[in-house]
Structure 1
Amino acid sequence: MEKKNHCIVMVPSPGLSHLIPLVEFSKRLLSFQRENLHVKFIVPTLGAPSSSMKSILNNSLPPNSSFIILPQINIEDLTEKSDPATQMKETVKHSLPFIHQELTSLSSTNHLVAILFSVFSTDVIDLASEFNLLTYLFFASGATLFSFCFHFPQLDQDADDSSKNSLLELTDPVHVPGCSVRFQVKDLPDPVLFDRSSEVYKSFLAVVKNYSLVDGVIMNTFTDLEPDAVRALQQEHNNNIGEKNVPFVYPIGPIIQSETSNEVNKLECLTWLDNQPPRSVLYISFGSGGTLSQEQLNEIAFGLELSGHKFLWVVRAPSNFGGSAYLSQQKEDPLHYLPSGFVERTKEQGLVIPSWAPQIEILGHGSVGAFLSHCGWNSTLESVSHGVPVIAWPLFAEQRMNAVLLKDVLKVAVRPEANEDGIVKREEVARVVKGIIEENEEGLKMRKRIKELSDAAAAALSENGSSMKALSSLALKWQNI
Structure 2
Amino acid sequence: MGSIDNQTTPKPHVAFLSSPGMGHITPLFELAIRLVTQHDFQVSFLVITTAFTPAQSEYLNANPHPDLHIVDLPPVDMSGLVSDDMELGTRLSLIVQESIRPFRSILSELKGPKLRALVIDIFCTGVFEICNELAIPVYSFFTASGVLFTLSLYLPSMDREVEGDQYVETVKVPGCNPIRIQDLQEPVWNRNSDDYKWYLFHCRRLFMATGIFINTWEDLEPVSLKAVKHEPFFLNIPTPPVHPIGPLVKQIEPAVMVKYEKEMIAWLDKQPKDSVLYVSFGSGGTLTREQLTELAWGLELSRQRFIMVVRKPSDYAAATFFNVGSESDDPRTYLPDGFIERTKGVGLVVSSWAPQVAVLNHPSTGAFLSHCGWNSTLESLKHGVPMIGWPMYAEQRMNATMLSNEVGVAVKMHVVGDKGETVVARREEIKRVVQMVMEGEEGKKMRSRAKELEASSRTTLSRGGTSYETLARVAESWKLG
- Compute the TM-score of the two structures, normalised by the length of structure 1: 0.92
CA distance in structure 2 between the partners assigned to 1:23 and 1:98 by the alignment: 22
CA distance in structure 2 between the partners assigned to 1:61 and 1:479 by the alignment: 24
CA distance in structure 2 between the partners assigned to 1:119 and 1:80 by the alignment: 22
- Aligned twin of 1:389: 386
Change (3 A) 1:419 1:190: closer
Aligned residue runs from structure 1 range 189-338, under 5 A: 189-194=185-190, 196-235=191-230, 240-241=235-236, 244-261=237-254, 263-264=257-258, 265-329=260-324, 331-335=327-331, 336-338=333-335
- Aligned twin of 2:69: 66
CA distance in structure 2 between the partners assigned to 1:437 and 1:92 by the alignment: 42
Q: Deviations over 1:206-236 (max 9, x none)?
A: 0111111111011111111112211221235
SS in 1 for 2:350: strand
Q: CA deviation at 1:338?
A: 1.0
Do residues 91 (structure 1) and 104 (structure 2) align? no
CA distance in structure 2 between the partners assigned to 1:344 and 1:222 by the alignment: 44
CA distance in structure 2 between the partners assigned to 1:334 and 1:94 by the alignment: 37
Aligned residue runs from structure 1 range 16-165, under 5 A: 16-34=22-40, 37-47=41-51, 49-79=52-82, 81=84, 82-106=86-110, 109-160=112-163, 164-165=164-165
SS in 2 for 1:147: helix
Change (3 A) 1:386 1:407: same
Aligned residue runs from structure 1 range 10-21, under 5 A: 10-21=16-27
Q: Is the 8 A contact 1:7 1:38 kept in 2?
A: yes
SS in 2 for 1:63: coil
More divergent stretch after superposition (56-65 vs 334-343): 56-65
Q: CA deviation at 1:109?
A: 4.5
- Aligned twin of 2:424: 423
- Aligned twin of 2:400: 403
CA distance in structure 2 between the partners assigned to 1:280 and 1:158 by the alignment: 50
One-letter identity of the residue aligned with 2:397: R
SS in 2 for 1:257: coil
Q: Deviations over 1:64-86 (max 9, x none)?
A: 11012222233423256521111
CA distance in structure 2 between the partners assigned to 1:283 and 1:20 by the alignment: 21
One-letter identity of the residue aligned with 1:126: E
- Aligned twin of 1:450: 450
SS in 2 for 1:224: coil
- Compute the TM-score of the two structures, normalised by the length of structure 2: 0.92
More divergent stretch after superposition (89-98 vs 419-428): 419-428
Change (3 A) 1:334 1:90: farther
SS in 1 for 2:93: helix
Q: CA deviation at 1:56?
A: 1.9
SS in 1 for 2:123: coil
Aligned residue-pair number: 466
CA distance in structure 2 between the partners assigned to 1:9 and 1:292 by the alignment: 37
Change (3 A) 1:239 1:156: closer
Percent of pairs with identical residues? 38
- Aligned twin of 2:181: 185
Do residues 434 (structure 1) and 435 (structure 2) align? yes
Q: CA deviation at 1:2?
A: 6.6
SS in 1 for 2:320: coil
One-letter identity of the residue aligned with 1:285: S
SS in 2 for 1:116: strand
Change (3 A) 1:178 1:143: farther
Q: CA deviation at 1:60?
A: 2.7
4+ long deviations beyond 6 Å: none
Q: 1:347 aligned to 339, 344, 348, which one?
A: 344
SS in 2 for 1:428: helix
Q: CA deviation at 1:33?
A: 4.1
- Aligned twin of 1:473: 473
CA distance in structure 2 between the partners assigned to 1:436 and 1:197 by the alignment: 40
Cα RMSD of the aligned pairs, angstroms, is: 2.0
In the alignment, structure 1 segments of 5+ residues that lack a partner are none
CA distance in structure 2 between the partners assigned to 1:266 and 1:407 by the alignment: 31
CA distance in structure 2 between the partners assigned to 1:332 and 1:422 by the alignment: 27
Q: Is the 8 A contact 1:301 1:342 kept in 2?
A: yes
- Aligned twin of 1:464: 464
Q: Is the 8 A contact 1:144 1:176 kept in 2?
A: no
- Aligned twin of 2:410: 413
Change (3 A) 1:62 1:229: farther
One-letter identity of the residue aligned with 2:385: V
Change (3 A) 1:71 1:419: closer
CA distance in structure 2 between the partners assigned to 1:203 and 1:141 by the alignment: 17
SS in 2 for 1:97: coil
One-letter identity of the residue aligned with 2:457: A
SS in 2 for 1:68: strand
CA distance in structure 2 between the partners assigned to 1:386 and 1:212 by the alignment: 34
Q: Deviations over 1:441-481 (max 9, x none)?
A: 22222122112111111110121100011011011011111
SS in 1 for 2:317: coil
Q: CA deviation at 1:398?
A: 0.7
Q: CA deviation at 1:110?
A: 2.0
Q: Is the 8 A contact 2:328 2:351 kept in 1?
A: no
Q: Deviations over 1:245-273 (max 9, x none)?
A: 11111111111122114734320110010
In the alignment, structure 2 segments of 5+ residues that lack a partner are 1-6
Q: CA deviation at 1:38?
A: 1.5
Q: Is the 8 A contact 2:175 2:231 kept in 1?
A: no
